Amino acid sequence: MLKIIYENILIAFEAIKSQKIRAVITLLIIAFGIMALVGTLTVVKGIDNNFSAGLKSLGSNKFSFKRYENIFIQKGRHPRNRHKTINPPISYRNAIHFKTNFKDAGTLVSISFVPAVNIEVKNTEKKSDPKYTIVGVDENYLAVNNYDIQEGRAFAAKDIKDNHHFAIIGKDLQTELFKHTNPLQKQIIINGNRFTVIGILKSKQSTFSGSQNNRILIPLNLARSIFPNKNPNYTIDVAVKNKKNYRKIVAKAIAVMRNIRKLKPLQPNNFGVNTSDKLAAELKKVSHSLTIFAFIIGLITILGSSIALMNIMLVSVTERTREIGVRKALGANKILIMLQFFIETLVITLLGGIVGIIFGLLIGFGVSNLMKVPFSMPWNAIEMAFLVIFIVAIISGLYPAYKAAKLDPIQALRYE
């Protein structure tokens, strides 16, 4: 049996050589379908990895109080359009009151806010592109939000209290303004104010919340005075040291926050509580939706490829009627004829599938780079692609092979 299969594989390659144009067209049809499937699933896996990295960077033992609970914010949409009720901003007084009154030995509380985005930064020699985000922070911000210092030091409580004009910069600003020099103890100018660089943040992977490397951290109260805003929104982050106490501490913190906001027992929260559990569930939901969407696109493309391949193989059977008659006259039975055309279909499909997988991975890699999400080898997509290849071969090859096997040898020999 193995010898028969081997001989039919050789016959399949001979048939491909004799009909190069048709074989190439057929191969490309299959390659396109597999490329669409692998490419979309590769991009989805990259996005999924990006979401997971975002969750990891935020910290699995952390929760936050913000104005709204919705984590995934669409650009260009105002909160009024996203929420049925309009929550009052979390004010500086709310944030300070919470930090002062929430006492738990296993937690660390941080207050921060973003007073300005797309800011231009200068040094003594040149100025940057207007792409930097200014974050006003307290002394706990780095520890609570999983930031590491690559060089220099973090803010001390005295730096925040005394409004020292110090700044901690991300890798993007270091690369742009201090490419050939060490920025530590150098001066940068933000909104007309001079700051001394005391630290450089370790590079972080971009996440769903945007680039983590274009941030410039300055003392909280100094940010309030430099960037006046009538209703700034503050974020309160709480890191929990012991995961076992996580839910109990979240419930306790919510009670403290409700008391600060003067809410009655039956009133709903007028602030957002973003926990790691909620975030993980939201990310899983988005990832699942993207995977289904990608699979549907790939399935539709594969279905079209299967129909096209079947039509081409039917044409091939018609054109090779005399060849089939000769083989039957020499003793080939229906099973051998079916096996010949089925293996030919399988060989073409396999070659097209391999080409499709290669191009799908290249497309996935390119799109991942454009979207600035990490690329990783989608082994599940490749396994699925090979499964689809065999399914396509069965669907597209059985009927033409059956039609070839049914041909009458006498009528086939007379065919011109």
Q: What is the pLDDT of residues 126-172, one digit of tens each?
A: 889 999 999 999 999 999 988 889 999 999 999 999 999 999 999 99
Is residue 254 located within the same domain as residue 293? no
Residues 306 and 182 in one domain: no
In percent, the amount of the chain with pLDDT more than 70 equals 83
- The least confident of 90-99, 265-274, 331-340 is 331-340
Across the chain, what does the average pLDDT equal?
80
CA distance 212 to 257: 28
Q: Are residues 299 and 388 in the same domain?
A: yes
Please tell me whether residues 165 and 265 are part of one structural domain.
Answer: yes
Last residue of a domain, one of 212, 239, 270: 270
Q: Are residues 263 and 313 in the same domain?
A: no
Q: Do 254 and 174 share a structural domain?
A: yes
Q: Are residues 289 and 249 in the same domain?
A: no
Joined tokens for residue 96: 């300070």
**pLDDT for residue 72 is more than 90:** no
Domain-located, residue 358? yes
The answer to whether residue 12 scores a pLDDT higher than 90 is: no
Q: Does residue 238 sit in the same domain as residue 288? A: no
pLDDT in tens, 230-246: 778 999 999 988 878 88
Domain count, the chain: 2
**Which domain-ending residue is among 209, 241, 270?**
270
Angular region, 356: left φ>0, alpha ψ -120 to 50, beta rest:
alpha
Residues 140 and 212 in one domain: yes
In which domain, by residue range, is 311 found? 2-54+283-414
In which band, very low, low, confident or very high, does the pLDDT at 77 lie, cut at 50, 70 and 90?
very low
Whether residues 260 and 298 share a domain: the answer is: no
* Residue 71, in any domain of the structure: no
Task: Note whether residue 21 is domain-resident.
Answer: yes
pLDDT, position 23: 72
Using one digit for the tens of pLDDT, what is the confidence trace for 291-318? 787 777 767 777 777 777 777 777 777 7
